[in-house]
Amino acid sequence: MIFLELVLQNFGPYSGKQVINLNPKIDQENSHPIILLGGMNGGGKTTLMDAIRLALYGARAQCSTRGNLSYNDFLNQCVNNKIDPVLDTRIELLFEHIENDKPIKYRVVRSWTKNPKDGKDTLGILGDSDTWPDALVNIWDEYIENLLPLGISNLFLFDGEQVKELAEQEIPPPVVVDAIRGLLGLELADRLAVDLDILVNRKLKEVGTSKDLANLEEIESRLTQQQEDYQTTVEKLETFKNQVEELEQKQQKAFDKFISEGGKIAAERNQLELQQDTKTAEIEQVHQLMCELAADVLPLALIPNLLTQAQAQGEKEFRHQQVQISKDLLLERDQRLLAWLTQVEIPPIQVKQIQSFLIQDVDSLYAKNIQIEAPWLLADDETLSQLDNLIYHLQNSKFSAKEKLAILKNKEEEIHTLERQVQTAAAPEDYTKLRQGLEAAQNKVVEAKANYETIRRRLAELETIIAKSKKELSDYTVENIKHKNSEHIITSAAKVQNTLKIFREKLTLRKLNKLEEEVKNCFLYLLHKSDLVHRITIDTKTFSLSLYDLNGKPVPKHRLSAGEKQLLAIAFLWGLAKVSGHRLPVAIDTPLGRLDSSHRSNLVERYFPSASHQVILLSTDTEIGKKEVETLRENEAIAREYLLKYDSSTRQTTIQPGYFW
């Protein structure tokens, strides 16, 4: 499996559409495993990991920032906070894998908007054909489990914090233990054992409830009586059915009279009057808001021309003031120039000509730019700024006033409609008679329906009882055979469980022996102290690691430095990936947290280029620094480099080609 491309659109800090080419192939013949993405802390590196998980697993994704959020709340949290809420947020992950000995490409597309009504995203699968991807959407969770199971994804898509936690704990956390069992195929035996327990429990219930059967004559006599009761009940049911239909017709007549003579509206009088009070209160609230607008700047809407003229005059006077200042500056400069010309002994007649030109030039410039009468408004900059703000605020107030006038009109029309409905209601005395007549008819219908329902249920019970009696007759001759079969299954299951227990133990030992050797080789390959560890063992129940030296003595884990512990955790993950046989990409976020220069160099030179056929590294400038990246480049290990450029003023990240150096 290879990730080829990741597309982010308005996801987290990534505004707009941004595309990352993850293909490790440089060309048709050459391929380098590492895709290097650099970014400072908080710049969006972890968001890229979350995007990959979210694209693959949707609501099941174990994203870093989700916590206890519901899927809907998490999707809302992932929407870029600078975009219009109606725009789509979108993730696309293009990957390739081998299917039926042929390379197949699929593009997983998930999109959603802010506060989606259905509380979920829209999933689409694009592939080489138009039929299979459409059907693949419905079974995507099962399909991706076959390629990259969710339980083991954290062993291939992990971060520095996960490595730190694994390095510090003596016993791996439960989520890692479950992933290890799934990766090594040990959960299959456990699942079979559970299925056997379920089967045994089911057969035990069958044997326990299989009591001595009644003789054949007793069953036939009981069945005959049940069939007679059934026929009598059918006749009763038909009688009650006719009664219900007759009473429903009388109820409909009473209801029609109740409606036609205003009874329904009278029954709703209190509700209508309550709605009137509510609408009146809403109108009063709008009146209050109109008064607040009138007490502010809204009255100035009566003199819009004066405000506009004052604004225009202020701009002209401001321009006049600027020109006057410019003229004074030019005159001062001309005086300095003439003084200098006199000092350098230029003939006086030429100096006079230059002086005449400068005076004419300043006068002509001043005449071109001064085309207004003498200033009379004399407003300073702050006053003009306040005038601009006042005009802008006035436009908003006028728009708000129009909206509230429209609301007032609608509310008044609604009140008039309610008043007309109240006026058509029946008188209280007439309403009481209408209501009593309708309720009496309804009560009779309810009583008749209750009787009908009781008989109908009795009929259904008799049908069930008769069917059971008939089944007893048909099963009478085969019950003993079923009983013996159930006992045989229970006896055989116990033997299978014992065999399965032995198989599980041997399978665990065989898998762990291979894993121990791989973890040891990976650890020694990464460690610059080749004599520190001679053997590594893994507990068959807890999967905790134990280290031994050349003399067979235990090497306590606390003797290891922080960097050595991290290398051991990485070697554990690396060994698991090798033993599993899965050919999957490896993505690592902040991989070099607490390593010294020696350990860091080993990890850069030995682990990253060999961890997988595709290794996505998300690093800060202090983890994979200038020295480390130059080493990877010299070893031709990097296929592509990107920089996550974070703008703290806008809190947005853009993806640019290249690294920090």
* Residue where the block lists tokens 């809907």: 72
User: Would you put residue 387 in left (φ > 0), alpha (ψ -120 to 50) or beta?
Assistant: alpha
Indicate if the pLDDT at residue 479 is higher than 60.
no
Q: Does residue 302 fall inside a structural domain?
A: yes
Q: Does residue 108 fall inside a structural domain?
A: no
Residues 384 and 285 in one domain: yes
Listed residues 396, 423, 450: the one ending a domain = 423
Indicate if the pLDDT at residue 291 is higher than 70.
yes
What pLDDT is attached to residue 131?
47
| Dist. CA 27–CA 37, nearest whole Å | 20
Listed residues 460, 475, 490: the one ending a domain = 475
What pLDDT is attached to residue 204?
63
Indicate if the pLDDT at residue 221 is higher than 70.
yes
Residues 311 and 412 in one domain: yes
Pick the more confident residue, 9 or 339.
9
| pLDDT confidence tier of residue 593, bands split at 50, 70 and 90 | low
- Note down the domain range covering 295: 271-423
Its sign, for the CA torsion 368, 374, 378, 384, is negative
Average pLDDT over residues 149-172: 79
Q: Does residue 626 fall inside a structural domain?
A: no
Work out the angle at residue 483's Cα, subtended by the Cα atoms of residues 482 and 486, and round it to the nearest 5 degrees. Answer: 85
Residues 295 and 226 in one domain: no
Q: Does residue 256 fall inside a structural domain?
A: yes
Listed residues 475, 510, 545: the one ending a domain = 475
| Dist. CA 140–CA 109, nearest whole Å | 12
Average pLDDT over residues 142-157: 84
Q: Does residue 75 fall inside a structural domain?
A: no
Residues 238 and 282 in one domain: no
Among 36-40, 170-174, 399-403, top mean pLDDT goes to 36-40
Work out the angle at residue 189's Cα, subtended by the Cα atoms of residues 184 and 190, and round it to the nearest 5 degrees. Answer: 100
Residues 307 and 349 in one domain: yes
Residues 278 and 369 in one domain: yes
Residues 282 and 369 in one domain: yes
Instruction: Quick: pLDDT tens for 379-435.
Output: 777 887 888 888 888 888 888 889 988 998 998 888 888 887 777 666 667 777 877
Q: Does residue 310 fall inside a structural domain?
A: yes
Q: Does residue 416 fall inside a structural domain?
A: yes
**What Rg value do the Cα atoms of the chain yield, rounded?**
43
Mean pLDDT of the chain: 83
How many independent structural domains does the chain possess? 2
| pLDDT confidence tier of residue 475, bands split at 50, 70 and 90 | low
Residues 390 and 312 in one domain: yes
Residues 257 and 361 in one domain: no
Residues 360 and 434 in one domain: no
| Dist. CA 591–CA 160, nearest whole Å | 5
Instruction: Quick: pLDDT tens for 520-576.
Output: 989 888 886 667 788 999 888 888 889 998 888 998 888 888 788 888 888 888 888
Contact 422, 301 (CB under 8 A): no
Residues 391 and 319 in one domain: yes
| pLDDT confidence tier of residue 637, bands split at 50, 70 and 90 | very high
Q: Which amino acid is at 192?
A: L
Indicate if the pLDDT at residue 112 is higher than 90.
yes
Indicate if the pLDDT at residue 370 is higher than 60.
no
Residues 301 and 359 in one domain: yes
